[in-house]
Structure 1
């Protein structure tokens, strides 16, 4: 089995039964042919194979006197969401040639899990072999880093919320979600962070924020982060609302990226400039639009285009939206029940669209000039 990308993440395994005698090629033909266009052009198996996201499909068949059954294995290097969509698409196939058939998903195996098990097993062997040796330089360095962080960590309030020591004296504080976020900000040089540790905001957080000149919320860029930010802003006056990059948690950001996000605020406060309130107020109109459109758009696999007055210009299946954009003008907002892909991004830019909202944003290049949001970012999904 081969995959041009060289990195297989998942094996999608399906079984099938056909009420007739068919060949292996007939099964493969049905898989490709009957899923084509079903999930949009970017989800076509031919396209996914072209960009090395799907490997060679393996099919095994067994025949009786008048039926054919067997299994199919599809190696994929996409995310789990795409694997699930492809599996569901194949399960919808009901014909192979003229014969009725049933496809059933048996498993989606994480190929990397086996590799992780091998790595852990080998690591245990290495540890056992070298355990009697002197402590390595690397272990000493890790110990120094850990102790250095621990000395600057503290707790706040009756609930003993994790914070860094600068929280007590600093004129401004940074609210993050958890202990790991506080530690990561310490590594980036920010010692004035406190963890809210849950969606229910502790009373001591409210009291602390009321005593500070400036309060910054720095929340994960995932769907849960959107809900937490919404809850936080409902009970605490926030001067700056910041999010990690889409789909990324604050604890996963590099120190350099953390500094890029926080440095403009830190510089304003340090030089005594008035702090401009940077709320989601810019996103408020977008959030209101998303809240209104989402209930009738979710799970439809469709896209809706609105003009500057928020009036609907068109509503089409996702598979047709890129071609539709090339023939329309005056679109300001595009909302879709799907993923914001590079192809969609280019089509939106060419159409002069200002804001695109979807369920998820793929890894994109050249996205400057477009406001890209997920329904999770806006707190509506």
Structure 2
């Protein structure tokens, strides 16, 4: 229709005729009725011959004995000449034998349309076409430092397992799963980690565990659990650290790594759990055995299990340092309406245990002070705990509360010298008192 290289303007004309005409009739009428009208300089034939005006594009349709349509003429003349040429076309009053009416609809500036397209395309390119944004100075520094850390990774033993640069000089080591975990710890300045690289623990790691304090820091998935079980069988492990639930060591931030290592668990607690199966629970409860009951963001201590008692039943032990407080597992019914049970008589099995008291209090909505020999001192409503603590706290070894316990209640119990506190749930615990054991009654 027009040359995009030279065209400046596009004249759009509307045509109506009182009869049926064809395209050649329209083109002939345009040349015939404008010939000599504007002089030699603006003669349409000469302008088209020199390329200053494009070919005439006629788009018409005939219906019911009449014809209507549009005429497009491309022009590379200036604004004034283009306007004169367009006005001259409105003088056409006949096309062939038919009366015609011609009206200029508009004169479009092709350059304006091109500018709009350029702007829209530039916006798209600005958003999508560039491969990457401007790199910040900090990003450059981090990239260079990352390459240095990668170069610092050592390869140990015949298995050539990845390890931090200080793995042999340090008196403690951190055992992780893979190379990515070692890199992440290096990113935050921890240079004494070593990777297992699979469930087949290399001999060099076993040797290092014999000489150094070893902390296992594995992912909380099935693979990490299997590696931990193997390490406990063949290596001298001292502590186990756990990442936050649902996260891998390689994805942790500096704060999460530091928090997890600070909350590492002595191996004795974990070994007790590995040496026996998790308390057998009916399959419809949906509870799966796991070696990862701990998490840096969990405040309450879980209650591990112990060996069978004299009566052949499974026993559970609390997490105290002594480990000598055991109680029968029983059916831990969580029905809220369960009433407290009276103290057992010697004929019914002898002295009460902590587990027996927990079973009696759980779901009752009561609290209970216990003496050092685990006999009941006083039952009370949990809301009265703070008021009764000065009176009964001095002669009590611990307290059971069928309620949620927060940091304030925990601090009050620790200040009074209680040895343990058992509660339905612990929430909002920021700091655990060193001298106070926390037992979850669930």
Shared fold, TM over 0.5: no
With a CA cutoff of 8 Å and minimum separation of 6, indicate the structure with the bigger relative contact order. 1
- Output the TM-score relative to the length of structure 1: 0.44
- Output the TM-score relative to the length of structure 2: 0.39
